[in-house]
Structures are given as C-alpha cells and as structure tokens.
Amino acid sequence: MRDQNARSNCEGQGMSTTETSAPPAPQEVREIRINPIVPAESVLVATARSMRPKKEEELAPRDTRKHVETCPFCRGNEAKTPPELLRLPEGSAEWELRLVPNLYPVLGDDRQDANFAFGLQQTIDGYGRHEVFVDHPEHGAAIHEWSEAHLALVFGAYRDRMRALYDSDKRLKYVLVFKNFGPAAGASIPHTHSQVIAMPVVPENVAAEVHNSAVHYGKHHYCIFCSLIDEALTFEATIYDRASGQIRRKINVGQYVIERGQHFIAVKPFASRYEWEVHILPLKHESDFLNVSDEQLADFARVMRRTMARLDAVIGGAQYNYFLHSVPHDAQREQHAASYHWHLEICPRTSIPTGFELGSGLFVNTMSPEAAAERLRNALPE
C-alpha cells in the first residue's frame, strides 16, 4: 500500500525516472509543470501521440480576403457600425483603425441593476464597457503582414483607450484588451479586430497573478517576472538523477527566448498551456502598460511582428488569442507597482480543450516547450 502511494505521488509530480519504471525516450516528456506564478494554471506536458487532443487540420481555416463588400468593418462600410468612438488618422477615409461600441456588449452601462445575493446565488451588476477596435482596414490581414508602424499605432491606441476608460469612471477596476484571431480562437467576426472590456471587478486569473507575485515580492524583494527574464537570459544547468547519475534535464542559456529587442523580450513559458504559447514582457520592470512610451512601442512592434511571423511560419496560418495583463487600477495599484510586471500573452489555438482538461482544470500540452521554442527560433533567418 505504502509503495503504491509513493509511486503515484512520484508520477503525479512528473518525476518519471524511478527504479520501477523504464526512463522515457530522451525527447518524450510526460510531466506536470507547475506554473510558477499561478499554480492553479499548471500544465500536463505529454508529448506521446496518444495524448494529442485534436488533429490540427480539423480546425476551420481563417478568412484571408482583403476586402469584403458586405463586411461592416471594411473601408467604405463605416455606416454599418454603431457611431464610431475614434478613428485614426482622424477624419480620414483611408483610416488605419476605428473604435466602435460592441453591438452585443457582454457588459454595459445602460441598466442600473443592484448587486444581488439570495442564498448561494450571488451576482454583481454587469456594469462596464465593451468596445471593438477595427485594428486593420484590410479584412483578413494577419499581424505578421502588418507594418511595424501599424502595430505600434494599434498598441498606442489600446494604451490611450485604457487610460480614458479608467479616467472615465472610478468603478472600473480592470480594462482587458484582447484579440481573437480566426474561428479556432473564437472570433465571430471574420474582419480582424480586437476588443476592450472594462469591468467593475478584477478577473480571477489577473488577481491570482497580482496576488502571487506580491507574495513572492514579500519574500524575495524582487519581481517574479524579472526573475523569469533573468533565468531565461542567464540560467544554465544540468540536473542529474540522484540514483542513476544520468542526466535528467539540461537547461541552456536562452533556451526559452524567442525574440529579443532593446526594450522587450518574447519568451516561451516553461509551463506553456498551449503548444505555441509565447509571452512578451518589457525587459525593464514596469507594472502598468499605460506607462509604455511611443519609443518603447516601436521596439515592442518589432519584437511582436517577428514573433507572429515565427508563429505563422511554424503553424501555417496561426489562429490565436492574445491578451494584455497589466496592474489593475484598484485600491492596491501603488502597492503592486514593484511586484507586478505587465505582459502580453499570445496563445495560438491548435487544439480544442477535451473533457480531461475541463474536468481536471489541467491544461494538456502535447509539445515540449523546449522543442517548440527551438522551432520558433529557427523559423526566421538571423
């Protein structure tokens, strides 16, 4: 009985090299990787083919047309959207970007529902804003096809809109900017667009990142995201199995680095939830995306465009979600300035979650993050 327990514990932690089981083939990975920032978002990395949840070719292809006569987001059809909130350049028929209210908002300010609690049923008034950036005039343009100047313009518009929303109403605690690109990523409108949702609560996953990084800071007086960047740029190690003396793992300098600019770095998380997940972070500590300068955005655009080109080259027509995580504008904003570090998470969707994932809350990743990082690094010349 005790033996069995010991063994299942061991397997549960992914330490598959034991005396009783044969060591796996060198490239095969089967382990649970604990997300250092949010342990609840941990990942089962299982590269055996049988674990593959869904074949890539079953995903619906994305729309690659340049202009669609009936599309409300294409140039010339501006009257088909609700009245615009912003256009860049202002007043130009040859606009680069438009911002419009979402026609079907998930949160709004049109109703004044009070918060409600009855027994175990509890609701918070769905107050907030939901807006859509038509982020490129060309219908199906993918980010790696955008110019760097355009990408910088779009992220500058995100920054300015986030600031305006926070300033407009102190009840708004978090402004989430995200993009769904392609039907596999849940985009219901085929024209490229991104969304802004301003909400009266801090989303649970952001709150967990903020809280856990503050706890880490309390212990180490150093930002955990800065530590991750330091590790990616400097850490080299060989870990041996205690019993057999065989090499269990080798970590090389730069193994997780996908792209590096003057101000930004794109890294492959050790505990990647998605096969091709990549995060982009500022190299210098900064908690709030609102403080990013135009000069920094130019570098960000270069790092991001090259990252997206790598993803597209490796996956072929990448469909993805990305979202910005920045310090929430709640009462603890100043307190979290030293411990939290803003970042962009890019999550290409090559499979659909299965019952195992939904039932266990564990993400299943069928590709070793180290192998994925290497393929992404080799995808572009230089």
Q: What is the Cα gyration radius of the chain?
A: 22
**Pairing label, strands 363-365, 43-46:** parallel
* Contact window for Zn ion (CB under 5 A) among 116-124, 141-149, 285-293, 309-317: 285-293
Q: CB-based burial of residue 105 (10 Å sphere; 0-12 exposed, 13-18 middle, 19+ buried)?
A: middle
Cis peptide before 353 (omega within 30 of 0): no
Q: Which of 221, 347, 231, 331 is nearest to 279 (CA)?
A: 347
- Residue 341 touching Zn ion (CB under 5 A): yes
Note the Cα 57 to chain centre separation in Å. 23
Min dist. Cβ of residue 324 to Zn ion (A): 9
Which residue, 205 or 354, is less far from Zn ion as judged by CB? 205
- Residue 363 touching Zn ion (CB under 5 A): no
Site residues for Zn ion, 161-200, by CB under 5 A, read 191
Amino acid at residue number 136: H
Amino acid at residue number 56: E
> What angle in degrees, to the nearest 10, is found between the helix axes of 369-378 and 294-315?
100
- Give the integer Cα–Cα distance in Å for 297 and 304: 10
- Residue 226 touching Zn ion (CB under 5 A): yes
- Residue 133 touching Zn ion (CB under 5 A): no
Q: Which of 211, 285, 375, 377 binds Zn ion (CB under 5 A)?
A: 285
Which residue, 172 or 223, is less far from Zn ion as judged by CB? 223
Q: Which of 139, 263, 302, 329 binds Zn ion (CB under 5 A)?
A: 139
Helix, strand, coil distribution of the chain in percent, nearest 5: 30, 20, 50
Q: Which of 162, 177, 223, 324 binds Zn ion (CB under 5 A)?
A: 223
- 3-state SS class at 345: strand
* Contact window for Zn ion (CB under 5 A) among 6-14, 23-31, 137-145, 260-268: 137-145
Which residue, 129 or 343, is less far from Zn ion as judged by CB? 343
- Residue 342 touching Zn ion (CB under 5 A): no
* Contact window for Zn ion (CB under 5 A) among 66-74, 146-154, 256-264, 360-368: 66-74
- 3-state SS class at 295: helix
- 3-state SS class at 298: helix
- Residue 225 touching Zn ion (CB under 5 A): yes
- Give the integer Cα–Cα distance in Å for 79 and 61: 29
Min dist. Cβ of residue 224 to Zn ion (A): 8
Which residue, 305 or 343, is less far from Zn ion as judged by CB? 343
- Residue 217 touching Zn ion (CB under 5 A): no
Q: Which of 44, 71, 165, 197 binds Zn ion (CB under 5 A)?
A: 71
Min dist. Cβ of residue 297 to Zn ion (A): 19
Interface mask toward Zn ion for 15-54; x: CB under 5 A = ----------------------------------------
* Contact window for Zn ion (CB under 5 A) among 40-48, 172-180, 219-227, 261-269: 219-227
Q: Which of 165, 196, 183, 176 is nearest to 102 (CA)?
A: 196
Helices H, strands E: what count in the chain?
7, 17
Q: Which of 74, 151, 304, 347 binds Zn ion (CB under 5 A)?
A: 74
Min dist. Cβ of residue 99 to Zn ion (A): 16
- Give the integer Cα–Cα distance in Å for 277 and 371: 12
Min dist. Cβ of residue 279 to Zn ion (A): 7
Q: CB-based burial of residue 128 (10 Å sphere; 0-12 exposed, 13-18 middle, 19+ buried)?
A: buried
Q: Which of 98, 130, 325, 329 binds Zn ion (CB under 5 A)?
A: 325
Number of residues near Zn ion (by CB under 5 A): 12
Min dist. Cβ of residue 155 to Zn ion (A): 16
Which residue, 54 or 67, is less far from Zn ion as judged by CB? 67
Structure tokens at 244: 């057999």
Q: Phi and psi (nearest 5°) for 20?
A: -90, -15
Residues of this chain that bind Zn ion (CB under 5 A): 68, 71, 73-74, 139, 191, 223, 225-226, 285, 325, 341
